[in-house]
Structures are given as C-alpha cells and as structure tokens.
Structure 1
C-alpha cells in the first residue's frame, strides 16, 4: 500500500475530529449562527485558531454550533464584555496545549503500531493511516474522560468557593473572588546547570517526574497545584499548616540521597489572593516568589503572616512540630524590608 498524501491524510483526521470536512466559509458560519461577522472573527482570534479569510472554506457545522453557543452564553451574561476576551483566550490556550500534547502522543503510538506491524511482516501499513484509525478509536474515549475530569474539577472548585465565601478578604470584581490563602512556590535547586548535562528526552523525563511527584505530594496533603512553570511549582492551600507540610515534605525528599526527587527550596506567604481564570494573583503571590528566590537549598522560608499562624498552632500543641529562625535581612526587588522566617521540623 502506498503512503497517503499528507494533505489527504490531514483532511481525513480533521473530518474525524470535527464530524465533517470543511465546507463552509466564515460568512456562512456567521449567517447560520445568527451572529455578527465581527464577533465571529473576534472569537476565532481569541481562541488562537489559525487566521483565515472570511471567504475561505475552512469551517464545519461544529463551528456554527460553537458560535451559536457563544452567543447564548453572552446572552446569559456568562461571556460579558469584561470577561469574554480573557475567558475565551484562556480556553484557547489551555486546549491548544492539551491538543499539542495529545497529538504528539497519538502520533507516537501510531508509529509504534506501524513499526510492530512491519516487524510482523505487514509492510503495507502506513503510519499516517494508522494515526487516522487510532484517532477514530481513541477520540470518543478521550472526549468522555475530559468531560468527566472537567465536571469533577468544577464540582470541587464550586465547593471550595462556597465554603470560603464567608472568610475575610477584600471584595474583588465579579467572577474574580479574593480569598485568604497560603501560597507556596517550590523551585528545583541547580536546574540550569543540571539541565545542560541532559539530552532533550532526559530533560523532559526529569521534569515530568518532578511534576508527577510534586503534584502527588500536594494532592495527598490537601493542597492544590495552580501551575508548573518549568522547574517550579506554584500551589495554594486553605491553611498555612497544609502548605508547610507540603513544602517540608518536598525539601525532605530532595535532601534524601536515596530519593530521585531533586533538591528543592520553597517560600510560603499567607494573605489575600485574587483567583482569576484558574490562576492566583496579588502581593501574597509575589512575596512567596521572592521568598523562594531567597531560600537556601533544602530550606523553607515563610513570611510574617504564615509564621504567626504556625506559631499560634504550635502554642495549642503539647509537642512542638516546627522551629523558626530569623535569617539575615535580605533585600529583593520590590520588597526591601522583607524579613522572612526559616521553617524547620522540630
């Protein structure tokens, strides 16, 4: 069997994913959805899709339905003028990253299937055809699992927001609540020098293992990972003690020569944070980042507010769990009078 032409194969995969081969222009999509053409252009741009002319045949019925649903959400006030751009842009970026990773994974699996078939004497197996077949088989399962994961996370986020809605905190804009949280950054020590000695595949495997183990530790202790930023993880917790236990556990594992987990340092700050599109913003986040940059390898630094809460918790216990020490005063950009505490286990 001859290998499929790339364009033909791409069209087949696109048809499998979207339900139809592209047969509509943006003008036709806009007219069918009953939405102004300018809004259709804006949503397409915010979602991060490739730019096309209004008369290019690049759309399907799925695009008509998506535009119609967007208009309905706007009518319900979900996609208001103040949140539409940020929310849709976040959707586009998140799904684009997920799609890139999933496509790479599918291509690798399809190539492995084709290679095994070739070893078995089936020399006419085309890797591109294998990927198209795999897409048709895998897509419904992935779609169902993604919907389940999204609804589960939505339920958890809703429960947390309702439970914390009465706690102290400044009023934020609608849809951007301000809550009191413990914010923690954990950073790999010596990442730059170590990464120079690794091949690309080794570097990816190392970072993925760090993300996997750190995420497991965070979830097991009741925290929440906000995001991974290369060699760094940003997490939050509803109380300082939870963040402290997470940071101390990571530094403990990083200091163990028999543990593959890398050496890390951490910074914890406690105070108001703005929750926006799955991220956290505000001075508390900035202070936690600065503390991490000041921390020595294997050390956890906390700000005055975090120290105050932990010290109050210690006063209620019969046996001490933590010790605190003031390091030398250090100056960091934007916080010249920042005076942290070194947190250790008793």
Structure 2
C-alpha cells in the first residue's frame, strides 16, 4: 500500500513454533531477537543500554522480557530466518533487535536485508514451490489479498488465540498498531502485523490561515473559506494564493507549498499514490481503497475486478 504503507510480518505455515515470539519481538515496544544464554543481567543490559526511552517503565520492560526468555526455553538453539527489504527501520531490526532477541531467548534469529523486488520474488518462489525459503517475511501490506487468497499464510489472529497462544506476548496490544485495517483480510482475520509506516503529514502556518486579511482575500478570490485543504483543488488554490497573491510576509518571500525538504527517489510515487489519492483524485466520491485504490483499480472481496482511467488508473 503506497499511501500508508504498513509493512507486515507474514508467517508461512513452515515457520510456526517460535515465530510468534519473533512477531511479538518486532511488534512490542522493545522487541528482540538472536542466540545466547538468557538471564536477568542480559535483559537488564539491553533495557539500560538500548531500550530507552520507552513508554514502559524499566520494571515493566524487565517483566515482559523475562516472559520472552521463559517462553523461548523449549526453542533454545532453534534457527529462524527472517527477511525484509532495505529500509532503515528493518536495518535496525536486523542489526540490533535480532541480536538482542537472540541473547535474551537463545533462539538464533537471522534477519536478512534485500531489495524490495527480491523479497516479492522469493515470496512467490516459496508459495509456488512449497519449499521454505524464509520462516518469516516483512513485506508490503499490498500483499494482504495474496495472503488471503492463497491460503499459504498463518492468520495471526487465529494463531495468537489458538495454537500459538503460549508463545504470544501477553503484553502485546494489537489494537495499538497503526494500519491494522490494511493488514486485515475480508474474512476479518489479521494476517499481517504492521511494523512501520510512511506517514504523510500536512503542516500549515496557523497564523497565516487565521489572518483576517488573508482570509478575506482568499474568500473573495476562490469563493470558500481559507483552511486546511480537504481535496487536491483546495491544496492547489492555497499554494497559488500564498505564492502569487500574498508573495511576502514581513518582508520575506513566501511560498504556499513545499513538499519534502530534500531530493528523494520516492517523491514521485508519494505524490501520485499518497497525496493525490488521499485528496480523492483517484476516484471522485469513493474513499481511497474502499473499494477503489490509488491506481483506479476497483476491488471486491480483496480481488481486483477492473481498472479505469477515469478513476485514476
């Protein structure tokens, strides 16, 4: 999903066992993963040296990580292979959290970082061949339909309540995750656990938007009140107004719009897939993704049923 892009953990049926520990690992506030003998000194070392600041107190962190160590006892020495694409969040998981998890649980967690296309290719290979390439996958929530239709993925909501209950972090608050709706299939089950997201924020100068003179001039020109834009045309109007009509504030040249403070390869798709779609440019009158996504593809029951240029495709 490109407008809010939750990454998710996808568990293949071959992964089972301690993978829920790894899921809880990436999910919890101070999650962990990798090999070694676990004791309270090891846990305390990670709490003090790495997992600060935290929304939890150190006592609460200790209690949760002690649970990890105890739950992992039957699986010490087990090797788990996880993969994700090259993103800073996942690099931290691979280099730091994997090491912490291994030291605390005694489970050898290897987290590979590869390119996005390679993640998808290897995932397809595993699903089509039935041979285990990786035990756990961190991949785009765009794949929720694939996981729902193919039946190759463990439904986390079922597993955490059933067979995997003993290895599911009891302190895990699934409802606290942002983007859970994008990783829940039409059957109402959670197949992916959101790991990180690309959030799009609209920042505006409150003093400019509440200035009586600016408000009056804007209303006279455009016929509606100056305010935070709710669609793309208003976004364009506001940018034009401050750039070409107001021009200067306190002797300083001002601009009505700036997107990103540095060059980035993702600038193009963030505009088309995020800003434009959130502004309703993909399909007039229908919320983005429900049931038309940002490429103008209409979805029914998590299946694509048609695309239209008029809908932005």
TM score, norm. by length of structure 2: 0.26
Greater fraction helix: 1
Select the structure with the greater relative contact order (CA < 8 A; seq sep ≥ 6): 2
TM score, norm. by length of structure 1: 0.25
